[in-house]
Structure 1
């Protein structure tokens, strides 16, 4: 991890970019709350546990105040080939001073030769394009506390059941086939508190879907399946299991699920673009990721 470096700032207050510490997370949570992002403090702690973070620290003013965390960014490595980048924030007071670019350059240096994936808002996209990122897909965020899906109709010999402990290695392999990346360390961390539904037919696994607490309620993802109908069955399972609860799901444009999610009451509240710097991952044609873990982790 890189050592701290001095960044351009107001003459009276020096600004430093340094590795993130656990003691910074409450301040980082405050930055995301100012932006009205849904992340809980617990979500920040999880990201910090599985990622490599940096913060922008603004030194104390001349009146003797304390230094404050005024920006953040995180990078999650997936083996030696890929990484995802997210939670990049610069406080309003420091906008327009090149700190966002400096944060991105630090994170990209940390990525080394890995291809880097992120999900970009319209405001962030111009900077990312200048840094060599290219759009690879769209992403829509859906959420609701009143979604209602028909009970999934399963094929003959089909059932949806919990993941067994002895199936965890198979789950990790399935995710590698679908995502084209080795996300094993991240998924193992998720499994400590996520629920996993397995779609099985005649003893053969046809798809999996995780659900966990996140933000305002629970998030469905990742969802991995062989086709859209199986993905819908798995998503419907969680919608019915947590009827009346706040649910969120982030789906790639290529999934083809946007309109169906709207039909079952999971309203689209935001659209962003997925971008990659380097070589986009290519999964096995037999499997496809139908939803993300979240926008910062992919």
Structure 2
């Protein structure tokens, strides 16, 4: 550990309140339920002072053997320029095999550091916020049925999500659905699950995602069902390729506020996806 007298180690449930305060120190809004989901789904590392104060953190979430997501990289403003961000990121990278591609969604501040570590930009997402949701004037008639989540739906959701995201996210989804304010599934005439969406109530925003659907019209129905009865500001992050869905968001009162890059280490491309992902879970989960 060069240039400082701090301990880098794995963080646990007892550290959640400190992690919330660390998040607040940089203007982010991680809350207890979000951090708990991250810890159950993956690993969190961070630097502590000799007095036990957490001054940095980062999380790595493995999805089976062919993808991991890195995020929640935070350094307290009073401890910057000590190389803590690089060190905690490297610890996350070292926690998974070198054969596993690691993805992250970069902030402008973090992108140069990730590039120095070997990450390359391979795509981008689009972040949308909405302070006043506008319901659609006309609703397209679609040949699908929508139902509240039931535990019996989980195997179908996991299978569908794997095709949409290119990785098995069973552990994460099993936890995330319990955290969800609302969870909805879509079924075809044969009763097969062909779509799903969750909403997560954060301290500032109602986060809509993941959203997986056979097409943008079905995705817009899922969006409406999750957004219509809520008073919180809405947030959804969508893959850049889903331009038609982005146009729907603008019609519904959303505004695109940023388009951060998706970066990848240990690979040239993200795992193959079937273009049914219309909203990511959150930037830390990819």
Mapped to 2, the partners of 1:149 and 1:140 lie a distance apart of: 21
Structure of larger gyration radius:
1
Matched, 1:246 2:241: no
Mapped to 2, the partners of 1:85 and 1:106 lie a distance apart of: 11
Matched, 1:146 2:132: yes
What residue ranges of structure 1 are gaps of 5+ in the alignment? 1-5, 60-65
The Cα of 1:143 is off from its aligned counterpart by 2.1
TM-score w.r.t. length of structure 2 = 0.90
Mapped to 1, the partners of 2:91 and 2:164 lie a distance apart of: 29
Q: 1:152 touches 1:233 (CA, 8 Å); kept in 2?
A: no
Instruction: Name 1:159's counterpart in structure 2.
Output: 145
SS at match of 1:33: helix
Instruction: Name 1:62's counterpart in structure 2.
Output: none
Matched, 1:124 2:110: yes
Residues 89 and 245 of structure 1: is their aligned pair in 2 closer, same or farther, counting only changes over 3 Å?
Answer: closer
Instruction: Name 1:17's counterpart in structure 2.
Output: 8
SS at match of 2:260: strand
Which one of 56, 69, 88 corresponds to residue 84 of structure 1? Answer: 69
The Cα of 1:147 is off from its aligned counterpart by 1.1
Instruction: Name 1:282's counterpart in structure 2.
Output: 271
Matched, 1:108 2:93: yes
The Cα of 1:150 is off from its aligned counterpart by 0.9
Higher percent of residues as strand:
1
The Cα of 1:246 is off from its aligned counterpart by 2.5
Task: Out of 46-55 and 204-213, give the one that drifted further.
Answer: 204-213
The Cα of 1:108 is off from its aligned counterpart by 0.6
SS at match of 1:111: coil
Instruction: Name 1:8's counterpart in structure 2.
Output: 3
Matched, 1:226 2:214: yes
Q: 2:29 touches 2:204 (CA, 8 Å); kept in 1?
A: yes
TM-score w.r.t. length of structure 1 = 0.87
Mapped to 2, the partners of 1:214 and 1:54 lie a distance apart of: 22
Q: 1:152 touches 1:237 (CA, 8 Å); kept in 2?
A: no
Instruction: Name 1:211's counterpart in structure 2.
Output: 199
The Cα of 1:277 is off from its aligned counterpart by 0.8
SS at match of 1:191: helix
Aligned residues: 281
Query: In angstroms, what is the RMSD of aligned CA positions?
Result: 2.0
Q: 1:181 touches 1:281 (CA, 8 Å); kept in 2?
A: no
Instruction: Name 2:52's counterpart in structure 1.
Output: 67
The Cα of 1:168 is off from its aligned counterpart by 1.5
The Cα of 1:94 is off from its aligned counterpart by 1.9
